[in-house]
Amino acid sequence: MRSVLISFLAFAACAVAQSTQAPAQPSTPPATTPTVANPERPQNQMPPDKKAPPPQPGQADQSTQSAIKGEAEPNRHLAGGTNIRATLDTPLSTRTAKVGDRFTATVAQPVHDASGAIVVPVGAKVNGQISETENTNLASAIKGMGHLDLRFTDIQLPDGADMPLSATLLSVHNINAPRPAKPDPLAAVAVNATSFGRPIKGLAVGNSAGGGYVLSTTGKQVDLPAETGLLLRVDRDTPLPSSSH
């Protein structure tokens, strides 16, 4: 009986020793679903509930800038050599006019630029002033002859804008005189006089840059009635005021 008890105790001790020496089995982690990237969604894509940042200054689209530049209106101007036909608003006479007196004339026909656009419309005002020649040779040549020295200073457009003007006086016309059935070819040379009335008889015009002088060929007085036609030639290219573009 005693030998059986000793064998049982030895067997139990051996079983306990084996259980303590057996390595612990690792616990199996729970299965997880791997993350798969969405190939249709680009990297660093902004979330749908956020807005893209505004463009920085200077980063405007180049094509837009080019379109804006392409749509800019070119500078318009009154070209040198262009003719202006205007009529005096009030009479001018050597009997009453003094150096420094101002006068106005109304543009009678529209003035166009090279593209055909009107740059000076009918009704614009040509402003001028009675002057006196500073050329001593000219002053000596016309001494004793009735004359009016006219200078043109600017054009006032119907919208109120002012444009400086340097123009030469080419001729003076009686636009109310009846036109002859057979136009005088000499009167129409260079100035197309038949479309603006005939040149006034008894007067001659001396051309000078910025204006001109009207001489009497029959006496000592020069009388230019109201509505006398003035044919002017613009001396140089003159930009139009910005408000009239």
* Domains in the chain: boundaries: 80-244
Short-list 224, 230, 229, CA closest to 96: 224
Short-list 81, 65, 57, 234, CA closest to 163: 234
pLDDT tens across the length of the chain (245 residues): 555 444 544 554 454 445 445 444 545 555 544 444 454 444 344 444 444 455 455 444 444 443 334 443 456 789 999 999 999 999 999 999 999 999 999 999 999 998 899 999 999 999 999 998 877 887 788 787 889 999 999 999 999 999 999 999 999 999 886 655 555 544 443 344 446 888 999 999 998 889 999 999 888 899 999 999 999 999 999 998 876 55
| pLDDT of res. 135 | 78
Cβ atoms of 224 and 92 within 8 Å: the answer is: yes
Give the 3-state DSSP-derived string for 123-192, with helices as H, strands as E and coil as C: CCEEEEEEECCCCHHHHHHCCCCCEEEEEEEEEECCCCCEEECCEEEEEEEECCCCCCCCCCHHHHCCCC
| pLDDT of res. 49 | 47
Query: Where does 80-244 sit in CATH, by number?
Result: 2.40.128
Output b/e per residue, 66-76; b: 16+ Cβ within 10 A: eeeeeeeeeeb
Short-list 100, 90, 105, CA closest to 129: 100
* Stretch (H or E) spanning 235: none
| pLDDT of res. 136 | 80
